């Protein structure tokens, strides 16, 4: 299905100072984010319940761009097309290695307080793509992020870069900024709010009447 694209984002999470940081397998609710590029602004929601994740992205006019259902336990990712009422299973896999020493990872001691949380800067340079991504990470036990990144690493380059960082389990970025090597900003993703809530199981199921499109390879 040509119209299905893996969500081109890095999922960043916010922990409110007033809310104790739960383990992700106990967290239930929705996280809302904003993604800004040099070309456009879009909005993202991440809904979490147990091992299930729902990713949705809308453009600035609130039109749906993509919807994904992820089962991190079964390692299954489904891409939904609400407009066509179809879905397909997405190929998943671990991060692919990068040859030729083109990737450089630097875990700095730089810190920044984001919404009351002290974050450390991790930088990943990709010489081949002429890009550098700065992840401002918090040391919280949110295993969901690492599992999701691992599943989507082969289909989204930004996920792949984070997956290549050693000892990243339990960490996640509250802010992600991608720049060229000349320091021109290309991408910024930040959390707008986090809303703990009991979610309906149907939110993580393929709606009735959707037709499955099988992969040809």
Alpha helix (H) ranges present in the chain?
143-152, 157-163
Give tens-digit pLDDT for 150-177. 776 655 566 678 878 888 877 878 899 9
pLDDT of residue 87: 95
Residue 133 domain-assigned? yes
With cut-offs at 50, 70 and 90, classify the pLDDT of residue 3: very low
Nearest by Cα to 89 from 100, 97, 78: 78
Taking only the tens place, the pLDDT of each residue in 5-51 is: 444 433 333 333 333 343 444 678 888 888 998 899 999 898 989 88
For residue 172, tell me if it sits in a domain: yes
Count: domains in the chain: 1
- Beta bridge partners, 187, equal 37, 178
Structural domain includes residue 72: yes
Q: How many CB atoms lie within 10 A of CB 174?
A: 23
pLDDT, position 142: 61
| CATH code of the domain in which 164 resides | 2.50.20
CB under 8 Å to 130, separation ≥6 — which residues?
Answer: 180, 181
Is 213 contained in some domain? no
Q: Give a yes or no: residue 134 inside a domain.
A: yes
Range of the structural domain that residue 107 is part of: 28-204
pLDDT score of 54 more than 80: yes
3-state secondary structure (DSSP) of residue 211 = strand
In a domain, 190, yes or no: yes
Q: Is the dihedral of CA 128, 129, 132, 134 positive or negative?
A: negative
pLDDT of residue 15: 31
* Cβ neighbours, 10 Å, residue 114: 18
Query: Exposed (0-12), middle (13-18) or buried (19+): which is 213, by Cβ within 10 Å?
Result: middle
With respect to residue 132, please indicate whether it lies within any of the assigned structural domains. yes
Share of the chain above pLDDT 70, in %: 76
Task: Report pTM.
Answer: 0.76
- CA pair distance 56, 36, nearest whole angstrom: 16
* 185: in domain: yes
Name the pLDDT band for 67 (thresholds 50, 70, 90): very high
pLDDT for the residue 204: 97
């Amino acid at each position: 299905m040509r119209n299905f694209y893996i969500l081109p984002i890095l999922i960043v999470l916010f922990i409110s100072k007033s809310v104790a940081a739960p383990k992700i397998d106990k967290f239930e609710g929705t996280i809302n984010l904003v993604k800004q590029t040099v070309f456009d602004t879009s909005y993202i929601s991440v809904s979490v319940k147990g091992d299930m994740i729902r990713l949705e992205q809308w453009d600035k006019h609130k039109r749906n761009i993509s919807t994904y259902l992820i089962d991190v336990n079964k390692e299954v990712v489904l891409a939904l097309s609400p407009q066509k009422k179809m879905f397909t299973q997405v190929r998943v896999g671990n991060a692919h290695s990068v040859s030729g020493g083109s990737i450089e990872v630097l875990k700095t001691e730089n810190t920044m307080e984001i919404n009351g949380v002290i974050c450390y800067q991790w930088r990943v340079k990709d010489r081949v793509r002429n890009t550098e991504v700065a992840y401002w990470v918090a040391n919280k036990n949110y295993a969901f992020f690492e599992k999701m990144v691992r599943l989507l690493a082969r289909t989204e380059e930004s996920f792949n870069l984070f997956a290549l960082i050693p000892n990243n389990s339990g960490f996640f970025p509250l802010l992600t900024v991608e720049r060229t090597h000349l320091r021109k900003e290309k991408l910024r993703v930040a959390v707008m709010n986090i809303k703990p809530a009991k979610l309906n199981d149907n939110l993580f199921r393929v709606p009735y009447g959707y037709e499955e499109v099988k992969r040809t390879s």
